[in-house]
Amino acid sequence: MLTMLTMKTLYRFSVLPILIAGLIRSAVPPSQTVFATPDAPAETNSIYLPLLRTSGNPVIQRANIDNIIGAEVSLFDDYYTATLSATQTRWMRSNMLAFRWDEIEQVEGVRNWGGPSVRQIERQLLQAAKHNFKVIQIVRGTPAWARRDPGEGPTCGPIHPTKLAAFAQFMKELVARYSAPPYNIKHWEIGNEPDAPAHDGNEVFGCWGDPNDKYGGGGEYAQMLKQVYPAIKAGSSSALLVMGGLVLDCSPTFTNLDCAPSRFLEGVLEGGGGGSFDIMNIHAYDYWVGSNEYSNRNWASFSYSTGPALIAKTNYVRDILSQYGLGAKPIINTEFALLCWQCETSPPGFEQAKAIYLAQANVAALSVGLMANIWYSAPGWVNYQTQLIEPDGRPNLAYRSLKFSAEQLTGVSYVGEETSNRFVRAYLFNRKNAQTWVVWALGVEQNIINLPSTPVAVFDMYGTPLPVSRSLRVTSQPVYIHFNSSQNALP
């Protein structure tokens, strides 16, 4: 079975978006199947407030939360920063622009801050700062002299235990240099997808994963965190250490799959690393299965029932953190997207499905209390058609969906999910004294819903005004419904 780890080995980053021409391949990955959706009832379905479901988790029930919307880019160049800034996107990340320890400190104790790659990153960070983005800065790459496994092996790690102090000193100086103006970097991510195993060459993900370890190598990563965390704080008291985003390829609760790598977080916590990172970090992808439907079977997640896989992954991670007394630790999702499996071009219907998924996933991210939700990526993942901006510079449907999603979900607080209609998802958000509902139908059928009062405005997922009525026809495309403070829609 091909998994996300396999997919990562197929991809190589490109500084510029790449236009791939060729035949349209199947949109369904080998590990996915097309699922039948439940039949929608023929009668009209009402929504009633008494069945509002909320969570008691203090991380979720917070008021006036920040803008959670973000995107991965290849470069923080002026075009991408300006184009994404226009959407009110506030989080930005780039695997391409990671600071590499193996390049800066090729000889132990001798750090070269004037190399071309460092200068390139500095120029890009200034562009991001100009547009007030919250950059999550990745650090990766282990010099040959510091590798646990000597020789010409992978540059991505792990670090020999006797060289962890050297890495900590490097991080202290790095953070001191770039947490200050004009760069103002606050969030530092150590490695990308560290639960992935080592691969040869200069990979942008992995390499702490150990398939022979009960906890997938998480204990070794914990020892690194414990050394690095105080050094980062010494470099800047306001710096935050973000755990490398975990692949979490499948749910460890499944007995028919080998999900040992997904126990990496447990390994970190068992190794005493729970107090040595500020923000938990996950990655969560779903697969297109045709029409406007998606799924991630490895997390029992489906568009017609549970919603995006980020819900299941966040709940799993929060449960593990809670078992170690860390349930209030913030969680961030630094990679999510709808993947068209090995699609050289975008098949008919996929672009609309991608836009629908993006809007639904941002709402879901707020409902489970994520600190940020970062799309992967603006220029796109080659052969998976995740781009927000086409190679010719034209923003696509997903970009329009992102733009309106950010506009509608900035400055809101999550109230709860209205659950009286099992064929409809309805999420409620407060903004000052007004309320916004985001509603869509499960499956491919339409549903007619009766609201508790007539809203003041209704918009489709691109921001186009729709007729205002107490009775609305909803599909899988989210609609944004606004009530004012005097209406009884407010609980």
145 class by beta-carbon count within 10 Å (0-12 exposed, 13-18 middle, 19+ buried): middle
Q: What is the pLDDT of residue 123?
A: 95
Any idea which residue has 């509902």 for tokens? 437
Determine the Cα–Cα distance for residues 82 and 78; give it in Å rounded to an integer.
6
Say how many residues make up the chain: 491
Question: β-pairing, 471-474 with 331-339?
Answer: unpaired
Report how many helices (DSSP H) and strands (DSSP E) the chain contains, helices first.
10, 20
Determine the Cα–Cα distance for residues 222 and 191; give it in Å rounded to an integer.
13
**Tens digit of pLDDT at every position of the chain (491 positions):** 334 444 444 333 333 332 222 222 233 343 332 222 333 343 455 555 444 555 444 344 343 457 999 999 998 888 888 999 999 999 999 999 999 999 999 999 999 999 999 999 999 999 999 999 999 999 999 999 999 887 666 677 789 999 999 999 999 999 999 999 999 999 999 999 999 987 656 678 878 988 889 999 999 999 999 999 999 999 999 999 999 999 999 999 887 788 888 999 999 999 999 999 999 999 999 999 999 999 999 999 999 999 999 999 999 999 999 999 999 999 999 999 999 999 999 999 999 999 999 999 999 999 999 999 999 999 999 999 999 999 998 999 999 999 999 999 999 999 999 988 889 999 999 988 899 999 999 987 789 999 999 999 999 999 999 999 999 999 999 999 999 875 645 44
Q: What is the pLDDT of residue 150?
A: 77
Determine the Cα–Cα distance for residues 412 and 480; give it in Å rounded to an integer.
13
Yes or no: say if 225 and 315 are a contact pair by the CB < 8 Å rule: no
Long-range contacts of 273-276 (CB under 8 A, 24+ apart): 273/218, 273/221, 273/222, 273/223, 273/225, 273/226, 274/321, 274/324, 274/325, 274/326, 274/329, 275/229, 276/222, 276/225, 276/226, 276/228, 276/229, 276/241
Yes or no: say if 461 and 486 are a contact pair by the CB < 8 Å rule: no
Q: What is the pLDDT of residue 431?
A: 86
Q: Has this prediction a pTM greater than 0.85?
A: yes
Q: Residues 226-257, buried b or exposed e (16+ Cβ, 10 A)? A: bbbbebbbbbbeebbbbbbbbbbbbbbeeeeb
- Which domains, and CATH codes, for the chain? 4-36+66-412 (3.20.20.80)
Q: Kindly give the interhelix angle for 309-323 and 350-367, rounded to the nearest 10 degrees.
A: 30
Yes or no: say if 423 and 45 are a contact pair by the CB < 8 Å rule: yes
Q: In what order do the strands lie in the sheet with 479-483?
A: 52-53, 413-418, 424-431, 434-441, 479-483, 457-459
Q: What is the pLDDT of residue 148?
A: 87
322 three-state secondary structure: helix
Closest CA to 485 of 450, 446, 436: 436
Q: What is the pLDDT of residue 57?
A: 45
Q: What is the pLDDT of residue 486?
A: 57
Determine the Cα–Cα distance for residues 129 and 134; give it in Å rounded to an integer.
8
- CA angle centred on 12, ends 132 and 20, rounded to 5°: 95
Q: What is the dihedral of CA 447, 448, 451, 456, to 10 degrees?
A: 100
